[in-house]
Amino acid sequence: MSGSPDTGWLAGDDRPAPATLSGAERRLCELHGAETAVVLSGQGAATAYALAALTNPGGHVIVSAGLGGAAREHVEQEFLESGRTVDFVDCDDLDAVAALVGPRTQLILTESMTDPGMRPIPVNDLAALAHSTDLLLVVDNTALSPAQLRPLDLGATVVVESCTPYLDDQAGLGLSTVCGPSRPLRRIGAQAARTGGRPDPWSDRMLAQALRTLDLRMAAHHRHADEIAEYLRKHPAVATVHRAGFDEAPWAVETHTGFGGLLSFTTHVPVDAARTGGAITVPAWEQPGLDPHLVRVAAGHDDAASLIGRLRALLSEEAAA
């Protein structure tokens, strides 16, 4: 903006803006290979801000049917009320996604692994579809974390993640993060700044510290979840086990280094998992084609044996009943 007023125009001004990333944001950029990152306070804030900033009123958005929790409720309430139209579809089925793309479609929002179905979504194929139809692809990578999947490398526009289970090591900071190119993230950061959605410096520091051990913890999560799945598959009371693996999804060898610490299973006789609490839960949301007696297990990174012990107790109770 220096110099005489009548020389040059916007093209002469484009020197790079100074980087103003916090410690956690810098680390997330490295983990995702992203140009920039924004950490937001609130678990659903990343999805909410990304959707609002990347679409216009009058636009249409394709959302994965497996999207759950606060993000799902946000999409069905505030987001729909803000003039956008939404279609829910199984993002594993590329033909079904392609059939929904219309002239007003702006964005596809999908999680990288369905929960509690625990099927990995082929992000690379979805990105190819999004690119060929001029759509943005937003991937919710909470279930896998950048240690096991880097969606930006596969062609996703923006990655959103809730920090709580994996990124911040169960610290319960209640943060979420958006990673991607700086131009769309500028609008997301500006929105958050206006509405006070940035975290306090201490939380940011806690997150940055937890991110140092992310790859080690995620490898342990993956290993323990595989052990628990192995145990459950051999158990006579268990009907089906949902656990993503390279055997079921061989294409993922090229893109994934693991499948996180989540699995779910159904039993022949319904079990009362609600009493167990902790890492063993019954999903509160409903999805078509899902067994209502499904039990969801989140393996920890410390030890699989104690969780297997609790599952053994749960299943023997059910066998005795």
Partner 1 sequence: MIAGVDLAGWRELAATVRRASWEAQATISVSADGPQITVRPMLLGPSRVARPFTVAGDPVALLLSALAADTAATVAISLTRQGALPTKINIRGYAGPAPKMGVHLDVAGLVTPARLAAAADHVRRYSVILRTLAESSPVRLLLVTPDGSQPVHLAEPPPASLSSGSPSPGSSSVRFAGSSSVDAGGEVHAVWRQGARSTVTAADRSIVIDRPKQLFGTDRGPSPEECLLAALAAEIRIHTGGEVHVSARQDLRGGLGFDGAPVGLRDILVQCLDPQAAIPAPGPVLELLRQPTDVSIEIENRRTPDAP
Name the residues that contact partner 1, by CB under 8 A.
1, 5-6, 8-17, 53, 55-60, 83, 103-106, 131, 134-136, 182-183, 186-187
Q: Would you say 69 or 184 has its CB closer to partner 1?
A: 184
Name the minimum Å distance from CB 44 to partner 1. 21
Query: Distance between CA atoms of 50 and 161, rounded to whole angstroms?
Result: 11
Q: Are 40 and 197 in contact (CB under 8 A)?
A: yes
Q: Tell me the closest approach of the beta carbon of residue 50 to partner 1, in angstroms.
A: 13
Q: By C-beta, is 107 or 304 nearer to partner 1?
A: 107
Q: Write down the least CB distance from residue 60 to partner 1, Å.
A: 7
Concatenated DSSP letters for 237-301? Answer: TEEEEE---TTT-GGGGGT-S--TTEEEEEESS---GGGT-TTEE--SS--TT--TT-EEEE--S
The conformation of residue 10, written as its DSSP 8-state character, comes to G
Count CB-CB contacts under 10 A for residue 47. Answer: 30
> Whole-number minimum distance, CB 249 to partner 1, in Å?
28
Q: How far apart are CA 303 and CA 95, in angstroms?
A: 41
The residue among 47 and 55 lying less far from partner 1, judged by its C-beta, is 55
In whole angstroms, how close is the CB of 242 to partner 1 at the nearest point?
Answer: 35
- Residue closer to partner 1 by CB (options 61, 262) is 61
Nearer to partner 1, 60 or 198 (CB): 60
Closest CA to 55 of 13, 116, 108: 108
Q: Which is nearer to partner 1, 105 or 267 (CB)?
A: 105
- The least CB distance from residue 6 to partner 1, in Å, is 4
Shortest reach from residue 260's CB to partner 1, in Å: 30
**Among the listed residues 135, 125, 132, 129, the one whose alpha carbon sits nearest the alpha carbon of residue 157:** 135
Those residues whose C-beta lies under 8 Å from the C-beta of residue 22, and which sit 6 or more positions away, are: 39, 201, 204, 208
Nearer to partner 1, 49 or 166 (CB): 49
How buried is 137 (Cβ within 10 angstroms: 0-12 exposed, 13-18 middle, 19+ buried)? buried
Q: How far is the CB of 47 from partner 1 (least distance, A)?
A: 18
Alpha-carbon torsion, ordered 280, 284, 289, 294, to 10 deg: 20
| Distance of alpha carbon 250 from alpha carbon 233, whole angstroms | 20
Q: Which two tokens stand for residue 144?
A: 């896998």
- CB-nearer residue toward partner 1: 17 or 320: 17
Q: Which two tokens stand for residue 147?
A: 């240690």
